[in-house]
Chains A and B, each alone.
Chain A
Amino acid sequence: MDLFIQTLINGLLLGGIYISVGIGFALVFGVLEVIDFAVGEYVMVGAFAGSVLAAGLGIDALFVVPLVFVAFYAIGFFVQPFLHHVTTSNVPMPILMALVFTFGVAFFARGGILTTFGPNTREVPTSIATGGVTVSAIGTFPVARVLTGIFGIVAVAAFLYYLYNTKGGLAIRAIAEDRTDARLMGINIARYQSVAYGMYAGLTATAGVFIGIIFAADPGMGMQYTAFAFFMVVLAGMGYLPGIIVSGLVLGVAQAMFSTYVSGAWVFFVLFALVYVVLLVSPQGILGRGEPVS
């Protein structure tokens, strides 16, 4: 029973950080209509950025989090116009071409990191997020995971606050609702799409720092988080933001339970197979609130 509760809590903590990856991804899908194949690579590059900055500046990785957010917000801000250009260009299947573009971004990022840092993993140095917190009668939880879980929840709360309680957030939601209407309402599409994509990139890369603190930065880790992001949006229902909170927690808990009680080796097979099966069986997500996919 203790092991079960411990696994459950570990899973929920992981779920917190997954939500912060999934929610930005889902927002970008809503706003730009683009499925970003590079999502996992933002996590990966974020983890490397955390590692390099912390080591370079000689400070704890936790303190470089704001730096990473700002840097990736800026990167995302200037990547968005490219996607916007492709989705509105006069090619057949513009949305699919944008998807191919993000496929290119993913390879560019992965190859760039591999070339610069080699194939080995790198530690994301922290002295604060070490050791464990003991909760009586349940067990000990690594501080890194606890902080990560807390960060995930706070980041998502801040993100949702921005989206639902500010003028900028209103503009972004208006664009997600209907781009043409939003333009007619006088909203600067280019700017707010860039803000949305920047926040997504920033949030995802920051999540990468925390994931790096727990597991280390690995040039090959991106694909896994791309799969996680797909899994979350597919499970939540495409384009349905609140569903991400549920599906992120489901993902975290399922991963923890599966590793503890079944076998770590089968985790990825099950994950990919589930993405595939959910798309086919429940095309509007388990909550039935997403847009149909067929």
Chain B
Amino acid sequence: MSKREGSLPPRLESIVYTADGDGYDWRLAWGIVAVLLVAIPWLGAGTFELRILIGVLMWIGLAQSWNMIGGYAGYLDFGHGAYFGIGAFVTGIAMVSLSLPFLPALVLAGIFGAVFAYAIGVPTLRLKGAYFAIATWAFAEAMRQLALLLDITGGTSGLTLPSTMAAFGIPLPDLPRVIYLYYIMLVLSVGVVVLTYVLFEHHEFGYKVKAVRDNEDAAESLGIDATRIKRQVYVLSCTTAAVLGGAYAFYITFVHPQEVLDSMITAQMVIMALVGGLGTILGPIIGGALIFLLDRLSALYFGSDTMYISLMGLLIMLVVLFAPDGIVGLLTGETDASDIRSNLNSLLEKFKFQ
């Protein structure tokens, strides 16, 4: 990545390009971003801005979490949202029924996510691609139906969580709650991104995962235990989704099956990773931020969430058709104008019915 030159606008290039080095100095750029992210509550950002940022961060984390299994491992998990919901409910139940503080409740959410993911992953990962998608989708829908029926999840009325920072678990100075929530989400989301980066881009583990995705037989013949690798990725990605779900529950203080187990949650993760670029570290970051902001903007301008649903649908179709490498593919030049043109031509070919 660091050696690709000439793919950034000149002005941006002058900022991150080091004349003596062999490419862009991304570390500098990321350093600036990190400082900004930490300082932002003190730079005049109000509740509204912080809430938007919390959303952006959470969705970046979720998109990255889906990207682990969907992008890097190539398994279309259409039930990933179930783990978000499981995390939210475990956190909610732990805080309401067990009166636990948030931090231990969040740990429980992670543990439950991991246990569920392992139990579901072992049989489900045996299925081939499209069947895996159906099975996980059915699992997630079953979870939603179950949450609507059970007492412990609050059934159709949902659960209401404590809404003060007193329930956090550690005594904290008296600051607006939203600032704490922002930092919680920042830590978790950046944690997921860094974890993904280290494991999948800079570690043999990531090479093994991609090897299994690209050619499972070849990977096995090279000593890679494909079943184990897939299981590890699945458990890891589902656990991170569960932890983010737990944080979301504490943030929103109300957990309802139709909301935290909504199939739109999975859909958004898929779309964000896809639009940004599957199996890349930057893709879900770009896609997550962009799509979430688009969602807020469409709510602001069209006043309805429903238009957004069809916009998402349209975007998925366009990306699949013309830019399967996502925005990252466009930025790095993997997909260029001639690709799109030849894609369009080959699409028109398919309309020749005579």
Asked if A279 contacts B316 (CB within 8 A), the reply is: no
Asked if A81 contacts B142 (CB within 8 A), the reply is: no
Beta-carbon contacts under 8 Å, B92-138 to A = 123-124, 126-131, 133-135, 137-138
Asked if A294 contacts B130 (CB within 8 A), the reply is: no
Asked if A104 contacts B353 (CB within 8 A), the reply is: no
Write out the residue numbers on chain B whose beta carbons fall within 8 Å of the beta carbon of A103. 78, 267, 270, 316
- Chain B CB within 10 Å, residue with most, of A84, A190, A223, A276: A276
Asked if B74 contacts A92 (CB within 8 A), the reply is: yes
- Chain A CB within 10 Å, residue with most, of B135, B304, B349: B135
Q: Of B146, B148, B317, B343, which contacts A89 at CB under 8 A?
A: B343
* A91 interface hit (Cβ, 8 Å): yes
Min CB–CB distance A4 → chain B (angstroms):
26
* A265 interface hit (Cβ, 8 Å): yes
Say whether chain A's binding surface is mostly helix, strand, loop, or mixed.
helix
Asked if A276 contacts B314 (CB within 8 A), the reply is: no
Q: Of A85, A114, A230, which contacts B138 at CB under 8 A?
A: A230
Asked if B128 contacts A104 (CB within 8 A), the reply is: no
Beta-carbon contacts under 8 Å, A237-294 to B = 238, 265-266, 268-269, 272-273, 275-276, 279-280, 283, 293-294
Asked if A101 contacts B320 (CB within 8 A), the reply is: yes
Write out the residue numbers on chain B whose beta carbons fall within 8 Å of the beta carbon of A115. 304, 306-307, 309-310
Bound-complex Cα distance A226 to B207 (A): 36
- Chain A CB within 10 Å, residue with most, of B131, B149, B214: B131
Min CB–CB distance B339 → chain A (angstroms):
10
* A162 interface hit (Cβ, 8 Å): no
Residue of A nearest to B320 (CB): A101
Asked if A293 contacts B131 (CB within 8 A), the reply is: yes
* B139 interface hit (Cβ, 8 Å): yes
Residue of B nearest to A274 (CB): B138
Bound-complex Cα distance A280 to B352 (A): 40
Q: Of B141, B306, B311, which contacts A272 at CB under 8 A?
A: B141
Bound-complex Cα distance A269 to B133 (A): 18
Asked if A114 contacts B306 (CB within 8 A), the reply is: yes
Residue of A nearest to B316 (CB): A104
Asked if B310 contacts A111 (CB within 8 A), the reply is: yes
Residue-wise interface mask of A (55-81) relative to B, using a CB-CB cutoff of 8 A (1 in contact, 0 not): 000000000000000000000001001
Write out the residue numbers on chain A whose beta carbons fall within 8 Å of the beta carbon of B346. 85, 89
Bound-complex Cα distance A220 to B49 (A): 33
List, sorted by A's number, 24 A–B pairs whose CB atoms are closer than 8 Å.
A85-B321, A89-B346, A96-B76, A101-B320, A103-B267, A104-B315, A104-B317, A105-B313, A107-B310, A107-B312, A109-B313, A114-B306, A115-B306, A115-B310, A188-B354, A190-B350, A190-B351, A191-B354, A223-B141, A269-B145, A269-B149, A276-B138, A276-B142, A294-B128
* B247 interface hit (Cβ, 8 Å): no
Min CB–CB distance A32 → chain B (angstroms):
12
* B274 interface hit (Cβ, 8 Å): yes
Taking residues whose C-beta sits less than 8 angstroms from the other chain, chain B's interface range is 35 or more
Q: Of A78, A112, A227, A294, which contacts B127 at CB under 8 A?
A: A294
Asked if A190 contacts B353 (CB within 8 A), the reply is: yes
Asked if B317 contacts A112 (CB within 8 A), the reply is: no
Residue of A nearest to B263 (CB): A223
* B308 interface hit (Cβ, 8 Å): yes
* A194 interface hit (Cβ, 8 Å): yes
Known contacts A95-B130, A103-B270, A272 near B312 by CB under 8 Å: no
Write out the residue numbers on chain B whose beta carbons fall within 8 Å of the beta carbon of A272. 138-139, 141-142, 145
Residue-wise interface mask of B (292-324) relative to A, using a CB-CB cutoff of 8 A (1 in contact, 0 not): 000000000000101111111111110011001
Asked if B142 contacts A269 (CB within 8 A), the reply is: yes
Write out the residue numbers on chain B whose beta carbons fall within 8 Å of the beta carbon of A119. 306
Asked if A97 contacts B324 (CB within 8 A), the reply is: yes
* A211 interface hit (Cβ, 8 Å): no
* B38 interface hit (Cβ, 8 Å): no
* Apart from A101-B317, A109-B313, 4 more pairs, CB < 8 Å: A194-B353, A276-B139, A279-B135, A280-B124
* B218 interface hit (Cβ, 8 Å): no
Closest 3 CB pairs of A and B: A111-B310, A108-B313, A111-B309
Asked if B129 contacts A93 (CB within 8 A), the reply is: yes
Min CB–CB distance A81 → chain B (angstroms):
4
Bound-complex Cα distance A190 to B263 (A): 33
